[in-house]
């Protein structure tokens, strides 16, 4: 039997054993490159989910998955939504761009990814296009815990449309610059947040996460107040 056939059969067995089948019930572009996708199915019912957790969705190729952060999860009806950003031409971007209602997919999770619950006080989330869903989930789940959201975006107008659609207000947007000077502007917001006793979540582009983390270290912020998650880096795959 050809190696590709064996690989494909093994992938199918693993999907049936480890993943849950879901159906796309809605998908719509809400701004340039941003797609809001709803998944439903009996297999998603009764799941324990916390904001910041991730799911992995199987792509067409064997053993290829892409990771997404649900923005909400209704365990009673078996319904979840993800905000996808079409980042390039890879399998995840193609799936988010081309998927349509009625399509089925295999989902692994939810499982641990970003968990700010051990920390206390206000929450400050710093990220990019890939982190808006995370910011939405964290700010919506803890209504008694204020959340300050900061995003670096290549297209701030598209970002504003997304934030309006999600009914997120008071969000600080930083337009990306080729020399990354905007990251220094993001870092300038840290001291006042530190003084307010905030805990921090840095997610998105690996280089930005690292630079902001270093800026916090210079402000003597202790590790329990910091959560980091690099979702992507130029030229690299496999980050989630």
| pLDDT-wise least confident of 18-32, 184-198, 223-237 | 223-237
Q: What pLDDT, on a 0 to 100 scale, did the predictor assign at position 240?
A: 66
- Residue 7 pLDDT > 60, yes or no? no
For the stretch 152-175, pLDDT in tens is: 999 999 999 999 999 998 899 999
Task: Give the class (CATH, top level) of 3-111.
Answer: mainly beta
What are the extents of the domains in the chain?
Answer: 3-111, 123-232
Q: Give the pLDDT confidence score for residue 12 in this predicted structure.
A: 53
pLDDT (mean) for 232-237: 80
Q: 191-229: per-residue pLDDT in tens? A: 999 999 999 999 999 999 999 999 999 999 988 899 999
Q: Find the mean pLDDT for residues 76-96.
A: 93
pLDDT in tens, 144-153: 778 999 999 9
**Residue 201 and residue 124 in contact, taking contact as beta carbons nearer than 8 Å:** yes
Q: What is the 3-state secondary structure (H, E, C) of the chain?
A: CCHHHHHHHHHHHHHHHHCEEEEEEEEEEEECCEEEEEEECHHHCCCCCCCCCEEEEECCCCCCEEEECEEEEECCCCEEEEEEECCCCCHHHHHHHHCCCCCEEEEEEEECCCCCCCCCCCEEEEECHHHHHHHHHHHHHCCCCCEEEEEEECCHHHHHHHHHHHCCCCCEEEECCCCCHHHHHHHCCHHHHHHCCCEEEEEEEHHHHHHHHHHHHHCCCCHHHEEEEEEECCCCCCCC
Percent of the chain clearing pLDDT 70 (strictly above):
89
Percent of the chain at pLDDT above 90? 77
pTM for the complete prediction? Answer: 0.90
238 confidence band (pLDDT: 50, 70, 90): low
pLDDT band at 15 (very low <50, low <70, confident <90, very high): low
Q: Identify the CATH number of the domain defined by range 123-232.
A: 3.40.50.80
> Region 42-67: what's the mean pLDDT?
92
């Amino acid at each position: 039997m050809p190696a590709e056939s064996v690989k494909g059969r093994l992938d199918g067995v693993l999907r049936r054993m480890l993943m849950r089948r879901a159906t796309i019930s809605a998908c719509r572009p809400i701004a340039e490159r941003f797609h809001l996708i709803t998944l439903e199915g009996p297999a998603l019912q009764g799941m324990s989910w916390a904001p910041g957790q991730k799911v992995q969705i199987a792509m067409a190729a064997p053993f290829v998955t892409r990771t997404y952060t649900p923005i909400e999860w209704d365990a009673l009806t078996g319904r979840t939504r993800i905000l996808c950003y079409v980042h390039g031409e890879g399998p995840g971007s193609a799936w988010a761009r081309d998927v349509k209602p009625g399509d089925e997919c295999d989902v692994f999770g939810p499982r641990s990814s970003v968990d700010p619950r051990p920390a206390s006080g206000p929450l400050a989330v710093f990220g990019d296009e890939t982190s808006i869903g995370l910011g939405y989930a964290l700010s919506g789940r803890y209504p008694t815990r204020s959340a300050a959201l900061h995003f670096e975006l290549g297209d701030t107008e598209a970002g504003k449309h997304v934030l309006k659609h999600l009914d997120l207000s008071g969000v600080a947007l930083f337009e990306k610059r080729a020399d990354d000077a905007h990251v220094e502007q993001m870092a300038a917001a840290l001291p006042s947040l530190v003084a307010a006793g905030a805990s921090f979540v840095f997610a998105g582009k690996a280089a930005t996460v690292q630079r902001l983390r270093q800026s916090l270290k210079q402000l003597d912020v202790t590790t329990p107040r910091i959560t980091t998650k690099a979702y992507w880096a130029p030229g690299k795959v496999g980050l989630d």
